[in-house]
Structure 1
Amino acid sequence: MAALLSVLAGRHSLRRPLCNGLLQGGTSVKLRRLFLYAFVPVFLATGGAWAQEDEELFVEEITVTATKREESLQDVPIAVTAITPLQIERAGMLDIRDLPTLASSFNMNSSQTESQGTTLRIRGVGTTGNNIGLESSVGVFLDGIYLSRPGIALGDQLDVESIEVLRGPQGTLFGRNVSAGALNLRTRRPSLTDQSGFLNLTAGNFNAFNVQAGVGGPLSDRVGYRLSAAVRNQDGFVESVSGAESYTRDRALLRGQLLWNFMDRGSLRIIGDYSDADEECCDAVVLLETPAAALGSFAAAGLPADGGVSAFGPSAFEARRSNAGPFVNPFDQKGLSAELNYNLTGNVSLTWLGSWRDFFASSIQDDFVGIGVYGVSPEAANGFGTFDDIESWTQEFRLTGDTERVSWLVGGFASGEDILEHIGLGLLGDFSSFVDAVLWNYALAPALAPAQLLGGVPLATGGTFGDVLAADNQALAFSGGIPVGGAFANNVYRQEGDSWSVFTHNTFRLSDRFSLVAGLRYVDETKDGSFRQPAASNPGCLATLLNARALAEGASGTPLAPVATSIGNLNAAFNCFPFATPADTGVPILPATFADTFQDDELVYTSQAVYEFSDTVKGYASYTHGFKSGGFNLDSTAAVGGADPRFDSEKIDALELGVKSEFANRRVRLNATLFDYDIEDFQVLEFTGVQFRTFNVPKARSRGAELELSAVAGQHVTLNFGYTFADSEYPDDCAGDLDAASVRSLCGAKLTNAPENVVSFGANWDDTVGDRFLVFASVNGRWEDDRRTSTQPNLALDVQEANTKANVRVGLGGYSGRWAVELWSNNVTDEQTKNVTFNTPLRVGSRSTFLEAPRTMGATLRLTF
């Protein structure tokens, strides 16, 4: 113990090739002290409790369904982080945004809209994107039902019984889009014996007020019910200089269940839910302002001197101050699912799951600045609204059986998804002056002196290039005097997808201690994708293109030809903003509609060798081949210049070695894993400032190690600890034979929002006061290493430095568990951190970021009966 304390305190070196970054450097000193101060007193207070011979103390046995069967966590040859009901309650978990504190290998990020721009990652691997055509690498399953988009899973985690984070590819058993892993969430089932209920009331800062309630019990000796509901409200934690708030909460959820046990051989469970939200999200904070403001470019163009950005840099970041108007993101969803379990014979059972779900989200968005550049709203887009409508269904059949030496499973799965997206975007009244400021007064300024020699070149719209150079608003003059403000486009995207698969997963017990596991799934995916444009108008764009060609032709053959080409191309990039430009004009650089089909199939498989060294120690080795379907870049620029709007499927080959163990009379549970991934055709989306680009990177990889510890450190203390080292990156040869600059620029860089080292930690203490009261306290936290918050590499501003966030909770309750009052604070030290960083749209040289939640605090009253 003394040696351990010395290491934690930093007095001895500890060489770990995989985790040097965790144990060296200034941040790691703070980390060591955190462990020393938080956990050493607990060890000392327990007085060596692990050595005591009290047989009643042991870590809780956890049952998981990671193999589609109920099994002990320690018996499953899969890396699983299992979150218990007590952990969910003591962590104050409201939705999956709170999960990273409890699972070191999991993290998530949201960008422009939480309903569409949410990315889930496991072991540093996830699909970054604000494009509805991209699907997640981490599948989310609620009561066995696949939720097709992460945004659908962002509702309150109401009446949840358990959460399983399945790490690594899970395709053989879970099917679609689980190449990085899966979240398996289970809600409480209706009881056929006891009538019970609960009521949770929470109030906190930012005017937060949450209500959760549930009731359930038997309707007869064979039928039970459960009803649960939640209402959640909170002011936003980002405020614009105009007073608009962002990241608000205003949502409600209702779920009802019926359970019918019939003929003593089967059960039918039916679940229906409805939720809606009317929230404002997500505005961004400007980290780096364009130099055009300091140079007076906006003032020279007749705009406010700050160009609509009065809050930027470190002060705006710390104050959580933005510059735009409201970002409105209401959404609602409804779903129905059923699960039938029937025992055909003593050893063979049938399971059927079916579901239908509809998700609808609309959006009104500003341009991240305080002047009128563009807007995503009916007012800006000729009355055309912006929304996503996703309708999906699933059907799954499974047969399972057991013999003396074999546990077998065979099944089939089918699903369909219909996506309809409308985007209405319009350019506003300040647009031409804005382009005059950031382009002509700033970006093009060095080229304008030599460009005077081109003053006599005639332009297609009349006059000469010299007239443009002499104009007060050169951007407006170059578009032939036609204001680009007022341009709009109504874009409609649709994708209809069908998937089917057949699968098997079997365990062969070759001896009492040695087993082999083999799983196969054949997957077939078909998607029909299209882009059409009911209406659009941008005559200023077309005039700009004509003048750009005239200027290039007039300078052809002269030393100024590159200057002329650059002037024309840059004006076209702004005035022909692709989200507000007509399609199918015959101009190669402008949007083109499309209608096409994507089809792919794959054989997904896993093989595992499992050896039981003792009753409490088990090891396994596995090799898994995973797959995530390709699809369509549902964006107006996807087919520009005849490009293929489709992107390829993503494939992953994963090696894993794991040990699961319990010792100290089952008071300590220690599970460890080594993993090594090679990813082919990794799917990436990047925002350039004027368009979203979706492409495949031929090679990516992730390799590392995980450690999870749970311990009962005495009669009153339980401890949880998790550590993940994940070297997730694009290798130096990531581009393969591709010459695309967008791909080659990533080679050698880390994957987005993939910290190399992550630690999660938790401690719970409880004790009785007499025979009437229970007191308790808990702390949960997460330390993570530096991470890159954008797709673009080598931008120091985009790096979120290492940080620690801790949540604390203390409470007093009745000894019977009927009531409890809790005081809590999340992110208690108020760490301000970046989420996703990006080019501020159209604002040359500017970078903005979406923020993560600051410190919150409040009180909760829990009642049960």
Structure 2
Amino acid sequence: MNRKLATFACGLMASSFLATPAFAQDDEADDGVLPDDNVIIVTATLRAADVQDIPIAVTAVQPEQLERQGISDIKSLSSISPSFNIQSSQTETQGTSIKIRGVGTTGNNTGLESSVGVFIDGVYQSRPGVALGDLMDLERLEVLRGPQGTLFGRNTSAGALNITTKRPSLDIVEGFANATYGNYDFMNVQAGIGVPVVQDVAAVRFSGSYRKRDGYLKSVTGAESNNRDRFMLRGQLYAEPSADVSIRILGDYSEVDENCCDAVIIRETELQPFFAFHGLANDGVGPNGFDALEDLDTNSQLFVNTSKQWGISGELKWDLGAAQMTYIASYRDFESESVQESDFVSLNVFTAGRGGAASLPGLPKNGDFIKTMTHELRFQGEAFDGALDWLIGAYYSDEDIDAQGVLTLGPDFQRAVSAGNFGAVAGVNPLFTLTALGNGGVPVNANGGYAVNLFTQEARSFSIFTHNVFDITDTLSITLGARYVDERKDGAFDQLESSNPACQASVNGALLGTVPAPLRAGLVGLNCFSFTAPVTLTAPALLGGGLASNLLPLPREFDLRFKDDEITYTGQVTWKPTLDTMLYGSFSHGFKSGGFNLDPTAANLANSGAVIGGLLAGTPVAPIYADPRFRSEKVDAYEIGFKGTFGRINANVALFQMDMSDFQVLEFTGVQFTTFNVDNARSRGVEVEIFGKVDDYVSINASGTYAKAKYGNDCDKGAPLDVIAAVSLLCGQPLTNAPKFTAVTGMTYDGPLFDTGWGFLANVNLNYSDKRRTSTQHFERLSSGAIVELPFDYQENYFKVNARVGFTTPDEHFTFELWGTNLTNEITRGITANTPLRGPGGARSRIGFVEEPRFYGVTVRANF
């Protein structure tokens, strides 16, 4: 038993021991809320309350809504919450990012944490990829918009997802089962059962799901991508041995074995004709452009993304009389593996991971290993005859990450990269022939060059917090909350294995001056592809020897500490002029932890030219190395809102502004990943939600978000030398995947089918998005100094339609449904990027990661 698991077990056993004297109810009525037909209960303030009574912008989603929209995981939530956006690139386990109001962290670097926290049964999920399991057997799901750091703690500077699973009933046996079949050979089975083991005292509930689907991207090589093959099991014990205490213990296990994530080449480089000149039978690209996008055709080979995870959590609630205590402890073990031909072409250029076309025997896994333990203790009560509702608490988390990157160069590497970056201007295969100038006249082939890079991060977070609601009068209240957060992270990069003689020869030739000056940077930058460049590369003896990374921007190992602390806080004023209307204003200061860029280039030399020039001139220049650490992100958020209930219809409006400083950004240049802070960014706008029933059987929903999310015009203030050129190109530009206007509207009939005794369900939902940027950068700077637009950055505006029709038997035990999502088959891009190593500035090949096409099928549901 490792240290985290032992600590978690001790905490859980201690909570069970403390709970022996008494037990408490945990339903809404015990919190003073009696739900009726028009009340939606949420726990966004860590207290059960009507969503219309809390001064927070919240979209509350019931399980029925998820089913009607075909939402099986959080990736589809944008179809019912226009402020929400989630995208994946290359892998879902590493490359998934979540945004709310246009704000979030983009990138597939494990060192980056999300700006939108995901909490399942009160437990923080440390990375979006960890939280991508099926949404199964839920009680409710809440999308909280704006900073939530006071109550929800870590990394919620843009918002939070608060997901609660269904607990077992203490007095009845209940269960469900459903089975679905659809196009792309889609199969999905879910089932669950809850059974009292001691009547009115203790019960258990077990549920599970299995989902399988063919991939919707098909490659000319015969490979497919973006399929589904996953299962999940969950079990829980819930007990109330007395009226004062409750205990809930949950455990889950899941596996994913999928092919993800290939991309369509939507723009090919103008240097495509030169691949034959460099001796290749073909250029590795067949389908490309928008015809390939519409037809979902790709060019790559293998993409495998697997993961296994298990977790256990325990929740103790104890009514102490003067206060209610809540203690939540959790432990999660997550591991993933990816194998990718992530050059996105059919040539054998390079392989990330083991088991691919270029992989060498005996290589270790390419993936993440994450172990997380959390503890949270809260006390909540009332004072001054109920005029003060107070809450205090403490939180601790302990997370260990091992992120292992394995990449091997293939036999087509030098010819393909020479063609895609030099054309014919440097002769045939310069990446091969020029290595002779640094290797005694003998050219060196890069085939088989590889590296195994290990990145580790040990993170500890501790915080104490308070959240208090003061009722000044019957209609006026003030909320004050604050949290002190202390973050400590130890990050390191160690290269476990490497071999790349072509890189060493390129370094020799560049530093000795035997390679023509115009080709030196390209030769080293490409032959020494950062993921396979050895950290042991040496400089020529004529230049003093030592590590070549002291003279050139090459990978360097590091072992550093990141420390930060912050006070996050919120203040809200709420006025209820009538029983059914509320006005509120709030200010919140949010915080997202900084950390480490877990990439081989994170600590590169930033002033190589000056260092080499000084060495040759005999006037040494001090080296400046990039700091692999990035600063914590902070946000000041202002919000004014209105919530009103008009008969059966609820109408909510929120005006917001979020001012962000040290905004965290990750960029892929086509050769390497860089992570940096941008001095300032802002999102401001308005959200409108209207939902409710127009009669007993017909409900409507309409919501829209207008948000102008962009980098400041002076966003490069204080940017360090190694990233200022990249940061300056962002200034004044919209944030990535932040459309100005998004909207969702729908209508549902759920009632009797004439006088037959059968029930009938008909639902239609329309989702609209304005055009949105899909790349980190909109511009690039050419070697001439000119600045040009990167092509196909914007995804144009679109509508998507979901619909469902269902019939329920008179005994209400069975339902039969026909459904479709994205019925108009709108093919849209989530992320657009440079194709790795293919095309120089101004002639880039570009790839697009594609969102889901049209799906349709039938579902049968049973419940008892």
TM-score by length of 1: 0.87
* RMSD over aligned Cα atoms: 1.4
1:226 paired with 2:209, answer: no
Q: Distance in 2 between matches of 1:129 and 1:579?
A: 17
2:601 equivalent in structure 1 = 637
1:384 equivalent in structure 2 = 364
Superposed CA offset, 1:202-256 (max 9, x none): 0000000100000002111200111001010000000110111101101110000
Structure 1 residue 771: Cα displacement: 4.9
2:339 equivalent in structure 1 = 364
With over 3 angstroms needed to count, the CA separation of the structure-2 counterparts of 1:173 and 1:842, relative to structure 1, is same
Structure 1 residue 512: Cα displacement: 0.6
1:441 equivalent in structure 2 = 423
Structure 1 residue 137: Cα displacement: 0.1
2:259 alignment partner, one of 276, 280, 299 = 280
- Give SS of 1:100's match: helix
The one-letter code matched in structure 1 to 2:498 is A
The one-letter code matched in structure 1 to 2:329 is G
1:839 alignment partner, one of 800, 823, 834 = 834
Aligned residue pair count: 767
Q: Distance in 2 between matches of 1:669 and 1:436?
A: 62
Q: Distance in 1 between matches of 2:414 and 2:683?
A: 46
Taking every aligned residue pair, what percent have the same amino acid on both sides? 46
2:291 alignment partner, one of 311, 315, 329 = 315
Q: Distance in 2 between matches of 1:828 and 1:440?
A: 44
Q: How does 1:86-105 map to 2 (within 5 A)?
A: 86-105=64-83
1:804 alignment partner, one of 781, 799, 805 = 799
1:486 paired with 2:448, answer: yes
Q: Distance in 2 between matches of 1:195 and 1:381?
A: 55
1:254 paired with 2:254, answer: no
With over 3 angstroms needed to count, the CA separation of the structure-2 counterparts of 1:781 and 1:700, relative to structure 1, is same
Q: Distance in 2 between matches of 1:492 and 1:848?
A: 28
2:763 alignment partner, one of 778, 801, 822 = 778
1:749 equivalent in structure 2 = 733
Q: Distance in 1 between matches of 2:360 and 2:37?
A: 59
Q: Distance in 1 between matches of 2:418 and 2:40?
A: 64
1:767 alignment partner, one of 728, 739, 751 = 751
Q: How does 1:538-617 map to 2 (within 5 A)?
A: 538-551=500-513, 564-585=516-537, 586-588=547-549, 589-617=553-581
Q: Distance in 2 between matches of 1:63 and 1:527?
A: 37
Q: Distance in 2 between matches of 1:127 and 1:474?
A: 38
2:853 equivalent in structure 1 = 854
4+ runs deviating over 4 angstroms: none
Q: Which range moves more in the overlay, 821-830 or 583-592? A: 583-592
- Give SS of 1:853's match: coil
Q: Distance in 2 between matches of 1:667 and 1:538?
A: 69
Superposed CA offset, 1:53-101 (max 9, x none): xxxx996210100010101111111110000122122222211112111
1:110 alignment partner, one of 78, 84, 88 = 88
Structure 1 residue 432: Cα displacement: 1.7
Stretches of structure 2 lacking an aligned partner (at least 5 in a row): 1-34, 437-442, 538-546, 606-624, 779-788
1:243 paired with 2:222, answer: yes
1:817 paired with 2:812, answer: yes
Q: Is the 8 A contact 2:764 2:803 kept in 1?
A: yes
Q: How does 1:639-718 map to 2 (within 5 A)?
A: 639-641=603-605, 642-663=625-646, 666-718=647-699
Q: Is the 8 A contact 1:280 1:328 kept in 2?
A: yes
Q: How does 1:87-486 map to 2 (within 5 A)?
A: 87-221=65-199, 222-293=201-272, 296-305=273-282, 307-345=283-321, 347-366=322-341, 367-379=343-355, 380-381=359-360, 383-403=363-383, 404=385, 405-442=387-424, 445=425, 472-480=428-436, 481-486=443-448
2:7 equivalent in structure 1 = none
Superposed CA offset, 1:788-841 (max 9, x none): 001011435120000011100001111332111000000000000001111100
Q: Which range moves more in the overlay, 792-801 or 245-254? A: 792-801
The one-letter code matched in structure 2 to 1:270 is I
The one-letter code matched in structure 1 to 2:120 is L
Structure 1 residue 565: Cα displacement: 2.8
Superposed CA offset, 1:293-336 (max 9, x none): 1xx3101111133x101111011111111111120001111000
- Give SS of 1:318's match: helix
With over 3 angstroms needed to count, the CA separation of the structure-2 counterparts of 1:153 and 1:505, relative to structure 1, is same
TM-score by length of 2: 0.87
Q: Is the 8 A contact 2:667 2:674 kept in 1?
A: yes
1:10 equivalent in structure 2 = none
Q: How does 1:729-740 map to 2 (within 5 A)?
A: 729-738=710-719, 740=724
Q: Distance in 2 between matches of 1:275 and 1:330?
A: 11
Structure 1 residue 712: Cα displacement: 1.3
Structure 1 residue 529: Cα displacement: 0.3
1:518 alignment partner, one of 457, 480, 492 = 480
1:80 alignment partner, one of 30, 49, 58 = 58
Structure 1 residue 749: Cα displacement: 0.5
1:496 paired with 2:482, answer: no
Superposed CA offset, 1:171-203 (max 9, x none): 000000000000000111110011111110000
Superposed CA offset, 1:361-390 (max 9, x none): 001000211111110122525523212111
Q: Distance in 2 between matches of 1:620 and 1:861?
A: 44
Q: Distance in 2 between matches of 1:652 and 1:861?
A: 46
- Give SS of 1:613's match: strand
Q: Which range moves more in the overlay, 373-382 or 68-77? A: 373-382
Structure 1 residue 264: Cα displacement: 1.5
With over 3 angstroms needed to count, the CA separation of the structure-2 counterparts of 1:566 and 1:815, relative to structure 1, is farther
Q: Distance in 1 between matches of 2:210 and 2:430?
A: 53
Superposed CA offset, 1:686-717 (max 9, x none): 00001000000000000000000013122321
1:628 alignment partner, one of 580, 592, 617 = 592
Q: Distance in 2 between matches of 1:820 and 1:351?
A: 38
The one-letter code matched in structure 2 to 1:121 is K
Structure 1 residue 587: Cα displacement: 1.6
1:463 equivalent in structure 2 = none
Structure 1 residue 571: Cα displacement: 1.0
The one-letter code matched in structure 2 to 1:431 is F
Q: Is the 8 A contact 1:59 1:711 kept in 2?
A: no
With over 3 angstroms needed to count, the CA separation of the structure-2 counterparts of 1:650 and 1:635, relative to structure 1, is same
Q: Distance in 1 between matches of 2:88 and 2:817?
A: 29
The one-letter code matched in structure 2 to 1:801 is E
